Amino acid sequence: MPRVLNLPAFVSILLCTLGGTAAWAEKADRGLPMVVEADKPGIMDMQKQIVIFNGNVVVTQGSMTLRAERVEVRETKDGQRTGVATGSPARRAWYREKRDAVDEFIEGEGERIEFDTRADTLRFFGGAVVRRLRGTELVDEITGQLITWNNSTELFTVEGGASPANPGGRVRAVLGPRAEPGRAPATGAPTRGGSPAPAPSR
């Protein structure tokens, strides 16, 4: 059975690292408790300022969900934080959060997801995919070997690279039309990972 961990004050570095990176994030999420579930015991090294969780890790805070096989967060002496969420062969690392003040969600996945508060970036590695959904309707989708969100410049960048699934290494973007006033979002439109609520099974 998964171990449910109510995080002490020290592990709030995980909350700050995940919750502080995404400019699109729902503001209400920041005031909610964060819960981490994992199949294996967590490691919290107070001296080295490292938090590690292993085994089907699920981090939730309001509308934000992060799923990975391993999550590691480090804090530097000057208070900056870096985090790495690593997937497994069966399931890639996956992130999803509601955008603030609109009925839209951002979700992304890759072999690895990295957070860096100093650089103010969120990066998806290895066959990376980032999607924007309006309700359950897929609006935009970007694919590449590396997708980076820079919170300071509010800019997405995507880089290519050959992989078994993409031998040519090309990047790809599918951009949907702007929302029409009064138009209800489509329901039941599938995303690449299936239903937008749970993480895609791999």
Q: Is the Cα dihedral 127, 80, 18, 56 positive or negative?
A: positive
pLDDT averages per 10-residue partition of the chain, 202 residues = 40 45 56 83 87 92 90 86 90 90 88 90 92 90 91 84 75 79 50 42 44
DSSP state of 28: G
* Confidence at residue 46, expressed as pLDDT on a 0 to 100 scale: 83
* Confidence at residue 174, expressed as pLDDT on a 0 to 100 scale: 85
* Confidence at residue 177, expressed as pLDDT on a 0 to 100 scale: 80
Could you count the other beta carbons within 10 Å of the beta carbon of residue 31? 9
* Confidence at residue 143, expressed as pLDDT on a 0 to 100 scale: 92
Distance (Å, rounded) from C-alpha 25 to C-alpha 106? 9
Distance (Å, rounded) from C-alpha 160 to C-alpha 145? 5
Domains of the chain plus CATH, in order, are 3-175 (2.60.450.10)
DSSP assignment string, 45-63: ETTTTEEEEEEEEEEEETT
DSSP state of 163: B
Integer angstrom CA distances of residue 170 from 20, 125, 135, 173: 31, 15, 29, 10
pTM reported for the whole predicted model? 0.72
